[in-house]
Each structure stands twice: as C-alpha cells, then as structure tokens.
Amino acid sequence: MEAKAIAKGVRVSPFKVRQTLTLIRGKDVGEAMMALRYTPKKTARIVEKVLRSAVANAEYNHGLDVDKLVVKKAFADQGSSMRRWRAVSMGRAHPYRHRTSHITIVVSER
C-alpha cells in the first residue's frame, strides 16, 4: 500500500527542488523530516510540507502505520512558466521566465 501527495504550481524551479529531494529519497519518514528541518533552503520548507501531507494521506486514507513509512519516490516535474520582461537600457526589454514545479512524494510501508 502506498500514499502520495502532489503540490502543483510551486513557484520554485524544478532544478532547485530536485537538489532537496535527493536528500530524502529512500529514507524513513522520521529521518527525512530531520534532514529537511536542518537544510537551510527555501525548497526544504516546501518539500517538508508535501511530505507531511503524504504521511497524513497514508495514515487517514489508507490506515498505514506512520512509524513504518519510507519515502518510496520523490520527484519534481516542470510546471508552467510565467513569461516576464525586464527593462534594460535604451528602452529595450529582455524576456525571462519564472519557472514552477509539480512536486510528488510517494510513501509506503517498509
């Protein structure tokens, strides 16, 4: 039995989220929470929130034991990009993109 949680449209690039997800993939939920709590990145707070949601889904929807849960899968896909323009010299503009992520975490019993 496995449970998952998905956060869509998070305003952080997938590259940055993937760096944090490598810390928790394959670990016990308790170890993963501690790793995220002491990681000084913005993405760690976001991933921790998704992990808490996955644990709550496992406990309440599927009746799994929280102490036996392991992070089975953790990945981040690219969401939609917001196109923006930055003013530069001589009345010109340069485009850039605000990238978003879809974060998915799957937990299962050991």
Average pLDDT in the chain: 93
Report which DSSP code applies to 89: G
Please state which architecture CATH assigns to domain 2-109: Alpha-Beta Complex (3.90)
Q: What is the structure's pLDDT at 47?
A: 95
Q: List pLDDT tens digits, range 10-67.
A: 999 999 999 999 999 999 999 999 999 999 999 999 999 999 999 999 999 988 989 9
Q: What is the structure's pLDDT at 16?
A: 94
Contact, 5 vs 24, CB < 8 A? no
Mean pLDDT of 84-105: 95
Contact, 23 vs 35, CB < 8 A? yes
Q: What is the structure's pLDDT at 20?
A: 94
CA dihedral 83, 87, 93, 96 (to 10 degrees): -30
